[in-house]
Structure 1
């Protein structure tokens, strides 16, 4: 929402200022070209356990309309490469326990995986793309409720 891609510092600062004037928080990050080449890989976790991974089209790539779900939200179920999986596990090991998390690594030009996002309040978890994903979330939610109500009547 309200995402732009620009190399113009003044335009970026004006956009961030507009969001701030509206009482919103802006996130500014460098754009990595390799996201356009390989898309974005998201590893989804429920209750600290890996559930599934997807590859999605880059939202701000040339020729992709971010408002058109058919062009910007194409999603494919993926098996993450071992080094991306290891990175996601390390990232989650440094964060507080959450009901769900989405970890998005990308490869740098030298091939090394790096974190571009760790979403702990992600509203879209790609449940319909992975068989069993909804059940994984339900199981994690039930475990969290049991833990929170343990010892209560």
Structure 2
């Protein structure tokens, strides 16, 4: 986990420009800006661009230390979410075309939770649906359909 403490008024490339470059280069970073010359407009710009705080100098060292700890925890959680997302993407990529059809119905139409409902929708037998469902759970590392739906929702940012 990481955190970058940036001076808003860096010479040459400003802190806000550096933040924009990190975003452009897809380098995820928790950023805390510090400044001796900032105000509300600068704070709003930095926050809208994704920084987690904007501290004006002089600030108490404990305030900065607390914010860095919070940033590190946020970054750890974000890294974990990205890792789970990649794992789910890999698992989905390993599914056959028919398994993807069954998976989509399980995720997008939970009212079709029964094998009979999915089978009717795909015009296949309920036993075939059961086999596909078992393979989907095996490949995704989930034990139950509700666990699969929950995990998929979390990595897609749809639930906590």
Q: Normalising by structure 2, what TM-score?
A: 0.23
Higher relative strand content? 1
Larger radius of gyration: 2
Higher relative helix content? 2
Structure having greater relative contact order (Cα 8 Å, sep ≥ 6): 1
